[in-house]
A and B are shown apart, each in its own frame.
Chain A
Amino acid sequence: MSSITLSTVFRRRSDVRYRRIEGEAVVLRQSAAEVLVLNEVGASVLDLADGERSVGEWIEALRSEYDADPETLTHDVLTFAGELEEAGMLEVVAP
């Protein structure tokens, strides 16, 4: 797993398919046929992992969307990005 900072840029792996449905996201990793359900924030992170925006930009976008404490939000997003990377959903875009 890579060391994640606010400048890290992620993209969804090419074998990941997902559907937004009433706020949540159902994620299917094609190569493993694994199915996950993400909550609304998780679904937003998946949307934001477009290979262009950095983790810091995700946090800015999420701050405008959700009324969350900035420190808590930063911690949660960094942790979640790591979990998604470890689960094979996201990959780091080389700088």
Chain B
Amino acid sequence: MSLAEFLNMGGYAAYVWSSYGIAAVVLVVNLVIPVQKHRLLLSRLRRRIRQEQNPQ
């Protein structure tokens, strides 16, 4: 099987690859969101603790 044949998916390329593409995007986004939220929350908490420790 050649690469072109594989990519062509027996004529169903648009259907197969769009399905896999959408799945990849949705699954990656669902990991990126909690990572960013976690990072943001930790830095916010850190700032707050620093302010509590040395209030100006």
Say whether A and B bind each other.
no
